[in-house]
Amino acid sequence: MDASSRASSGGVVRFPLSSTSSLVIQRGDITKWFVDGSTDAIINPANERMLGGGGADGAIHRAAGPDLLQACYGVPEVSPGVRCPTGEARITPGFRLPVAHVVFTVGPMYNGRSTAEAALRNTYRNSLKIAKENNIQYIAFPAISCGVYGYPYDEASTVAISTIKEFANGIKEVHFVLFQEDIYSVWLNKANELLKA
Ligand code: AR6
C-alpha cells in the first residue's frame, strides 16, 4: 500500500506535470498523510498569528502534539501578533505527525477581489518555494481558504492547480488531500480541464 492509499478514502488520481513531477488528487485526512517521514511535508492552512485555530489547523495541532505550538511561538513576529503574513509560508518540524515537516501558510478570506486571488496564488507559490529550500520531495496541500475563509471551490481550484502546474518543478509529488467529497470532485474536474493534454 502506498502513501496515497493510506491517507485516502476516495479514488487516487495522478496527473503528470513533467518527467520528474506529478500532481496527485485524493480524498482523505491530511494529518494521516505521509510518504517517507524525511522528505515529506503537509501544508497547514493557518492564520497570521500561527498559534492554532479550527479546521485543518486545529486537526494538525492535535495530531502533532504540543511541541508544534511551542515551535510556532519560536517563529519571530514580523509585526505585533503576526508570524506569517497572508500569502507567505513558514516551516516547522512535524513532531508526532508522520511527516517530517509542516509548512504553514495563510490564505486570504474571500472577498471577491483580485487581491484575494493574488494572495491565494502566493500561498501555493511560497509553500512550494520553502519546500524546495528544505529539500522536500513530497508535499500535501488541503484546499487552502475553502473552509473558514469562504473561498468558492471552483475559483480556488483554478488558482491552486494553475499555480502548482507553474511552480511544482523540483518537487517529485504534489498531493491534494481533500476532506470533502464535493471539493474532491471540483478539484478533479479542474485538473482534467487544466492538465490533460
Ligand atoms: N485534512 C484535510 N483537509 C481538511 C482537514 C483534514 N484533517 N480538516 C479540514 N480540512 P480550513 P481556511 C479542509 O477552515 O479556510 C482555521 O481556524 C476543510 O474541509 O481549515 O484556510 C485557521 O486557524 C477545507 O476544505 O482553512 C484559520 O484561522 C480546507 O481544509 C482559518 O481556519 C480548509 O479549511 C483558515 O481557514
The pLDDT of residue 197: 64
46 lines ligand 1 (CB under 6 A): yes
57 catalytically annotated = yes
Using CA atoms, how far apart are residues 141 and 124, in angstroms rounded to an integer?
9
Helices (H), the chain: 3-7, 55-64, 66-73, 114-133, 153-167, 181-195
- pLDDT for the residue 5: 41
Q: Ligand 1 center to residue 78 CA distance, Å?
A: 24
Q: Which three cell numbers stand for residue 178?
A: 481533500
Per-residue pLDDT, 196: 81
Where do the domains of the chain lie, and which CATH numbers do they carry? 15-177 (3.40.220.10)
Residues 85, 79: Cα–Cα separation, whole Å: 9
Give the mean model confidence (pLDDT) for residues 163-176: 98
Coil, helix or strand at residue 148: coil
Q: Is 185 exposed, middle or buried (0-12, 13-18, 19+ CB in 10 A)?
A: middle
The whole-number average pLDDT for the span 85-111 is: 98
Q: Check pocket membership of 106 for ligand 1, CB cut-off 6 A.
A: no
State the pTM of this model: 0.96
Output the pLDDT for position 4: 44
Single-letter amino acid code for the residue at 64: A
Over the stretch 22-64, which tens digit does the pLDDT of each residue have?
Answer: 999 999 999 999 999 999 999 999 999 999 999 999 999 999 9
Q: Whose CA is nearest to atom 23 of ligand 1?
A: 53
Residue 38: its pLDDT value, please?
A: 98
Ligand 1, atom 3: nearest CA belongs to which residue? 179
- Going from the Cα of 178 to the center of ligand 1, the distance in angstroms, rounded, reads 10
CA of 43 to the centre of ligand 1 (A): 10
